[in-house]
C-alpha cells in the first residue's frame, strides 16, 4: 500500500471532513491529521497549504478551508467560539446593542464578547476583529439573561445585560438611543 504525500493526505482528510458549517480548523486539529510528521515538517506542510490556497489563516491557530463556502458574516463569531471554547463567553456590549437597534452605528467587522478569560483584541485579517472583555460574571447569575445563538455558536446577552456591561466596563454610551431602550416590549 502506497502512502500519500503529507500535502495530499491533508487535502484528502480536509475534503472529507469540511462542510459549510464546519470549515474552521484549529492548528491542533490539523496537526492530528498528520501525526507522523515532525513539528518542522508539519510547519512546512501548513506553509505550503496556505500558499496553494488550501487554507486561509484567520488568526493565530485558526485556519479556514475556503472551498466549503463559509457564510462570511458568521466567521468572527465561530472563530471566537473556537478560540475560547474553554472559557465562559457571551456576545454583549456594542455587538448586542447594534443588533437590537439600540445604538445607531453598526460596528463593521468588529465583535465584542464578555469572557471569563483575559481581555484581548484579536485581529483576524480581512475578516475583522474579535474583542474579548474580561468579566467575573458566572453563568449561573446570567442564565435568565442569556440566549444561545446557534448560528453564531455563542451565548447572546439581553439588551439590559449588554447595557449593564457597557456601564461596568466604562464604554461610551453616547450612541445609545434611550428612547428605544425604554420602549415597552
pLDDT band at 183; cut points 50, 70, 90: low
State residue 16's pLDDT score: 92
Q: How far apart are CA 172 and CA 143, in angstroms?
A: 26
pLDDT at 1 over 70: no
Tens of pLDDT along 156-182?
Answer: 999 999 999 999 999 988 888 887 777
pLDDT tens string 130-142: 999 999 999 999 9
Q: Does residue 71 register a pLDDT over 90?
A: no
Write b or e for each residue in 107-131: b if 16 or more Cβ atoms lie within 10 A of its Cβ, otherwise e. Answer: beeebbbbbbeeeeebebeebbbbb
The residue among 104, 108, 93 whose CA lies nearest residue 179 is 104
Residue 37 exposure: Cα atoms within 13 Å on the Cβ side? 19
Q: Where are the domains of the chain?
A: 6-70, 86-181
User: pLDDT averaged over the chain?
Assistant: 90
Cell 488568526 maps to which residue?
A: 59
**Pairwise CA distance, residues 24 & 146, whole Å:** 25
What is residue 4's predicted lDDT score, i.e. its pLDDT? 62
* pLDDT over 90 (residue 59): yes
Nearest to 156 by CA among 81, 61, 70: 81
Query: pTM value?
Result: 0.89
Q: Comparing 74 with 20, which gets the higher pLDDT?
A: 74
What kind of fold does domain 6-70 have according to CATH?
Answer: Arc Repressor Mutant, subunit A (1.10.10)
Residue 23: pLDDT over 80: yes
**What are 84's three cell numbers?**
475560547
Would you say residue 2 has pLDDT above 50? no
Percent of the chain with pLDDT over 90: 77
Amino acid at each position: 500500500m502506497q502512502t500519500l504525500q503529507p500535502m495530499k493526505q491533508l487535502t484528502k482528510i480536509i475534503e472529507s471532513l469540511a462542510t459549510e458549517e464546519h470549515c474552521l480548523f484549529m492548528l491542533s486539529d490539523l496537526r492530528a491529521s498528520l501525526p507522523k510528521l515532525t513539528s518542522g515538517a508539519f510547519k512546512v506542510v501548513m506553509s505550503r497549504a496556505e500558499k496553494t490556497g488550501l487554507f486561509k489563516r484567520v488568526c493565530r491557530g485558526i485556519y479556514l478551508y475556503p472551498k466549503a463556502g463559509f457564510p462570511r458574516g458568521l466567521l468572527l463569531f465561530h472563530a471566537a467560539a473556537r478560540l475560547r471554547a474553554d472559557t465562559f463567553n457571551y456576545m454583549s456590549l456594542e455587538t448586542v446593542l447594534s443588533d437590537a437597534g439600540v445604538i445607531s452605528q453598526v460596528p463593521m467587522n468588529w465583535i465584542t464578547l464578555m469572557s471569563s478569560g483575559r481581555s484581548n483584541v484579536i485581529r483576524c485579517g480581512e475578516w475583522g476583529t474579535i474583542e474579548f472583555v474580561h468579566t467575573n460574571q458566572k453563568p449561573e447569575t446570567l442564565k435568565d439573561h442569556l440566549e444561545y445563538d446557534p448560528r453564531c455558536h455563542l451565548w447572546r446577552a439581553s439588551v439590559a445585560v449588554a447595557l449593564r456591561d457597557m456601564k461596568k466596563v466604562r464604554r461610551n454610551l453616547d450612541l445609545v438611543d434611550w428612547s428605544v431602550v425604554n420602549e415597552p416590549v
